[in-house]
Structure 1
């Protein structure tokens, strides 16, 4: 073989070798999501970090409008045109996709070891044998307050119910500000930022939630009715016309400095940071008595899984394993303050308000919203019933006891463990 032939053979081997490598590594992944508000964070922070460490894999974030996501995603999955990676809503919506064969089981990914059972519960089968989405983030509930109003009026964040209502009385008596910004029109906020925000301190978080699933406790029991009684007591502090006040109205009242306190989900942090020009603080749901164990609603909110029919399964698994890493946890939690990592890895938060919310995990026990696992599969849907009852109690259309009976009767009408 001449020197020229040797060179050509080497060149051919190099070209074929690099082509083989390219075929093995090159892949473009598409992410389906309902979170179109964080498009720039994916494009500017998350995807570049992944691609830098995995040069053979390109990633495209392609969200749908939140209200259209479920329908759009289902039609794409049925047609075989969905992306490789599927952003997962918690519990039954994603479980249904897994049961239909649309999501792949991924519990064998190395970094799934970074998540505890409560974190994985939102994206696992009822028996916990299969997990089909990597947990990404939770939202924590509590109360955000205007620190400048608190300073002006000489107020300190409350720890107990008595302190909470004494604080509200003081703000109301002074007269310059609405004590709390929340309305009853949209219903979901009365349940989410009202009933299931303060409720875990009464039903003892996971203990009560799991007892409800097993049939050992009823929604008409005192520990489930008492938070409705507390919610009813909020009414005098919500301002004139709160019965017809929508969620955006409540947000505006707070960010414009007209209300002192906002019963909140931590997703408000990013919004309020942009819209409010005053310093803010946060306090956890007050306990009944000083020294009581505290519980917080630390609700599994968003995960990500793999389309079972992805043309790039290995690349998709590589991406999902990265989502389970400490690097992703830190990047995501700090890019979206108020969406907290579900990883067991330590994540250092930068935003002061986010730091306050997540610090409650150290002193309080975490739980998730009680209607979301198993208990909203029938008719009436328990979560929708909680919306309706919470709003009714807040505006005085039902007594707390009547509300508890409505919830219990609805659940017992279709859920066998509650029929005993």
Structure 2
């Protein structure tokens, strides 16, 4: 009998141990559209997390960017999606939260590391609830050919007047195209043009929120004047810029044929690998010396929790780590140009990336004006802004007409909350 009892105790101990091991051995699957940074996850992020969290394994499972939204929605509806959901900014993620497919992360440990502007892309319209941890943003500005500037004796412009003086000098010399930008792809004119320089006119978040609240209109000077500035860019663009694609613009600059590239920081890694000359960057020039400057520090990517994940606590441990300075440092330096939104500053190893991120010290951040709330109806304000930005540069619409068209489209479906 004693032998039987001992055997039973041994067996129960083994089974209990196995059960404990099994319970601790959790694998979290991460859904993402970023298939280009698979190596960063496998070689840097996953080992760093797993080393400090034994028993939790990470499986990074990306889908092609163009297929991600449809694939993710189908998986969530079917109950087969991964535990961690990589979040697009603004409406796409908000819709998932409203459908109760993303969990509320407002009280998650580490969420206090992010400012309201950083969290805006993954919060409810009133800012009361946040449902994704901000991972990275992209910053707008201008990348320039340092060799060209040195050769022509041009100083980095800080004001709009200095910017035009630099463009005039480059154009007069004739060696370089002053500005590498085309209008064929439409979005380039809006994203690297209007949304790049515009915040200095509408005063960043102040103007963006006033537009949402109906206190300002796209026909107001704050919103028309950026188009007046864009219209002045036409003489500085290359011959045939109307047929110039985004990739054409990239090539013109990296081949050394253009002096200035209206940019998003996502270009840094590509440009650094291709350009055979020294590069620098400068923020959107302010209207007058001494004025407060604004930058578009636009949220690009976040991560949330599948509300139906079977591993809620383990997933929250991972998300809390994503909210930490350690994650911010690894991710931002592994992918220069995609900047941490964490309030703890990250020192960038890449000098061009460090130049972009340093602007946060003295410029006020904002996000693209069309991304929150104002592009939920038809006509879509974001897409219409692409069209009008190109039209203004091409000279087929005046800045005044562009503002009138955009406001008319917005008025047709959007009524600001009273």
**TM-score interval w.r.t. the shorter chain?**
over 0.9
Q: Secondary structure in 2 aligned to 1:119?
A: helix
Cα deviations across residues 324-366 of structure 1 (Å, max 9, x unaligned)? 0110011111111111111112222111011110111111100
Q: How far did residue 8 of structure 1 move? A: 6.0
Shift of 1:15: 2.9
Stretch moving more, 19-28 or 101-110: 19-28
Residues 156/8 of structure 1: CA separation in 2 closer, same or farther (3 Å cut)? farther
Question: Is 1:282 matched with 2:281?
Answer: yes
* 1:224-248 deviation digits (Å, cap 9, x = unpaired): 0000010111111111010010001
1:407 corresponds to which residue? Answer: 406
Measured in 2, the distance between the counterparts of 1:128 and 1:90 equals: 14
Match of 2:168 in 1: 169
**1:118 equivalent in structure 2:** 117
In structure 1, the residue corresponding to 2:397 is in which secondary structure? coil
SS in 2 for 1:150: helix
Q: Which residue of the partner structure matches residue 140 of structure 2?
A: 141
Residue equivalent to 1:127 = 126
- The aligned runs of 1:276-355 (5 Å cut-off) are 276-355=275-354
Instruction: Tell me whether 1:69 sits opposite 2:68 in the alignment.
Output: yes
Q: Which residue of 1 aligns with 2:199?
A: 200
SS of the equivalent of 2:37 reads: helix
1:28-67 equivalences under 5 Å are: 28-67=27-66
> Residue in 1 aligned with 2:388?
389
Q: Could you tell me which runs of 5 or more consecutive residues in structure 2 were left unpaired when the two chains were aligned.
A: none
Structure 2 equivalent of residue 108 of structure 1 = 107
Equivalent residues, number: 418
Unaligned runs of 5+ in 1: none
Deviations 1:74-99 (A, max 9, x none): 11111222111111001000000111
Q: 1:210 to 1:15 in 2, by over 3 A?
A: same
- Give the Cα–Cα distance (whole angstroms) in 2 for the partners of residues 113 and 8 of structure 1: 53
Question: Alpha-carbon deviation of 1:11?
Answer: 5.3
> How far apart, in 2, do the equivalents of 1:250 and 1:17 lie?
63
Shift of 1:110: 0.9
Equivalent positions of 1:150-229 (< 5 A) are 150-229=149-228
Distance, in Å, in 1 between the alignment partners of 2:255 and 2:413 is: 45
Deviation at 1:280, TM superposition (A): 0.7
Taking structure 1 as reference, are residues 8 and 371 closer, same or farther at Cα in structure 2, changes over 3 Å only? same
| Mapped partners of 2:280, 2:147: distance in 1 | 9
SS in 2 for 1:416: coil
Deviation string, structure 1 residues 136-163 (Cα, Å, up to 9, x no partner): 0111000001111111111111001111
1:343-394 Cα shifts (integer Å, max 9, x gaps): 1122221110111101111111000001111111111111111111101111
Alpha-carbon distance in 2 for matches of 1:98, 1:361 = 30
Note the alpha carbon deviations across 1:99-127, whole angstroms, 9 max, x for none. 11211111121111111111111111112
Report the Cα distance in structure 2 between the residues aligned to 1:62 and 1:80, rounded to whole angstroms.
16
CA distance in 1, matches of 2:204, 2:126: 20
Q: How far apart are the structure 1 equivalents of 2:99 and 2:400?
A: 40
Aligned twin of 1:79: 78
RMSD (Å) for aligned C-alpha atoms? 1.7
Q: Report SS of the residue matched to 1:261.
A: strand
For the residues of structure 1 that align with 2:110 and 2:101, how far apart are their CA atoms?
22
The whole-number CA distance in structure 2 between the counterparts of 1:152 and 1:193 is 26
Q: Distance in 2 between matches of 1:335 and 1:169?
A: 38
Structure 1 residues 276 and 6: CA distance shift in structure 2, 3 A: farther
Tell me the distance in 2 between the aligned counterparts of 1:6 and 1:27: 33
Comparing 231-240 with 304-313, greater Cα deviation is found at 304-313
Quote the residue 1:378 is aligned against: 377
TM-superposed deviation, 1:10: 7.5
CA distance in 1, matches of 2:345, 2:257: 37
Q: Aligned equivalents of 1:61 and 1:354: distance in 2?
A: 26
Matched residues in 2 for 1:251 and 1:403: separation? 27
Q: Secondary structure at the match of 2:40?
A: helix
Moved more, 170-179 or 73-82: 73-82
